[in-house]
């Protein structure tokens, strides 16, 4: 299987290292800057509880010359996807599968769903650019459950379990999803072939929705957030709003926020991906995680005052730090 990974951060680097070292694959990777230089120097490298996984990497700065792939794994941050999507055409053959291993609500989430507005989600694909570049028929939904970080350019760090959920956007099982699941399982991941991956995406979002922005606002680890009763009340109220949205989307949540918090606490005192981005001065993934939830709430008629507060406060903090764009100023009157 010809595989190309776009982006070699924490998740992309982990996927690439395990595929190259464990599954006998030779995935190409498109990277840039210090990550590109590091991968050329030392290849794939991932440090996990099971040891260090290292293998040579075929590194490219762009898609030119790679040709159509069988599997294209998108492991970039949400704010970068619109620009990345415009350069994918050389990699897309008739049967190329696209697996977005990314946080938050994906651009395709509402596509083909009866009763949902089919217009692109403005929070993640404002101009419909991503949907135009990546046809829905190519997409396999993916959820990543892994505690990861980048400890140096081109080096992924992963603790605990590394679990992936893969499934067709429209639901049900398929042979192509089974093939991808088997490949990733061979690479050492725990795999679930889901018959309702939209629901799995919403469940992960339900936890990230509050922990990510609160950690970025405060600099706190997950454990510290869960230990503050006032902050936890705000988080739980926002999660209840998201639960009501999920019910109307056909993605019901069967737990209470308190039950989910008990599961989250078992992960220990880790830093969320949004806090890691803040500390590295990277643009925050607010739109796909919090903005999209708010937008979907408006589409299905669910009020989101607590989610609105989290979005507004975190977005303003990020704008002041230069990690989220300011809105365009109104044109001056002639």
Beta bridge partners of 168: none
Beta bridge partners of 147: 159
Beta bridge partners of 72: 4, 98
Lookup result for tokens 């469940």:
203
Give the residue from 102, 304, 303 showing the smallest Cα distance to 208: 102
User: Among residues 2, 77, 204, 271, which one is catalytic?
Assistant: 204
Catalytic status, residue 2: no
Cβ–Cβ < 8 Å for 208, 147: no
SS3 156: strand
Cβ–Cβ < 8 Å for 252, 246: yes
Instruction: Transcribe 159-215 into DSSP letters.
Output: EEEEEEEEE-TTSS--HHHHHHHHHHHHTT-EEEE-S-HHHHHHHHHHHHHHHHHHH
Lookup result for tokens 């998108």:
74
Cβ–Cβ < 8 Å for 311, 290: yes
The set of catalytic residues is 204
């Amino acid at each position: 299987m010809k595989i190309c990974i776009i982006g070699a951060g924490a998740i992309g680097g982990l996927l690439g290292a395990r595929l190259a070292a464990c599954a006998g694959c030779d995935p190409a990777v498109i990277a840039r800057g210090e990550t590109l230089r590091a991968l050329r120097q030392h290849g794939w490298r991932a440090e996990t509880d099971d040891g260090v996984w290292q293998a040579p990497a075929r590194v490219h700065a762009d898609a030119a010359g790679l040709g159509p792939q069988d599997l294209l794994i998108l492991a970039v941050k949400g704010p970068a996807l619109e620009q990345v999507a415009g350069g994918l055409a050389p990699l897309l053959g008739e049967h190329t599968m696209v697996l977005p291993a990314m946080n938050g609500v994906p651009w395709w989430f509402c596509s083909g769903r009866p009763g949902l507005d089919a217009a692109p989600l403005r929070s993640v694909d404002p101009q419909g650019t991503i949907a135009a570049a990546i046809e829905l028929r190519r997409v396999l939904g993916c959820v990543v459950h892994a505690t990861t970080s980048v400890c140096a350019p081109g080096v992924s760090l992963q603790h605990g379990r590394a679990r992936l959920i893969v499934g067709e956007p429209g639901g049900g099982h398929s042979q192509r999803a089974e093939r991808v699941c088997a490949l990733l399982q061979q690479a050492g991941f725990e795999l679930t072939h889901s018959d309702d991956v939209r629901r799995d995406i919403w469940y992960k979002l339900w936890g990230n929705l509050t922990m990510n922005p609160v950690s970025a606002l405060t600099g706190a680890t997950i454990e510290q957030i869960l230990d503050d009763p006032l902050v936890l009340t705000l988080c739980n109220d926002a999660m209840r709003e998201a639960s009501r949205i999920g019910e109307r989307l056909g993605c019901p949540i069967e737990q209470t926020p308190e039950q989910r918090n008990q599961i989250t606490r078992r992960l220990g005192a880790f830093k969320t991906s949004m806090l890691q981005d803040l500390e590295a001065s990277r643009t925050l993934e607010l739109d796909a995680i919090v903005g999209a939830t708010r937008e979907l709430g408006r589409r299905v008629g669910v009020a989101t005052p607590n989610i609105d507060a989290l979005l507004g406060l975190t977005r303003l903090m990020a704008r002041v730090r230069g990690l989220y764009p300011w809105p365009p100023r109104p044109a001056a009157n002639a």
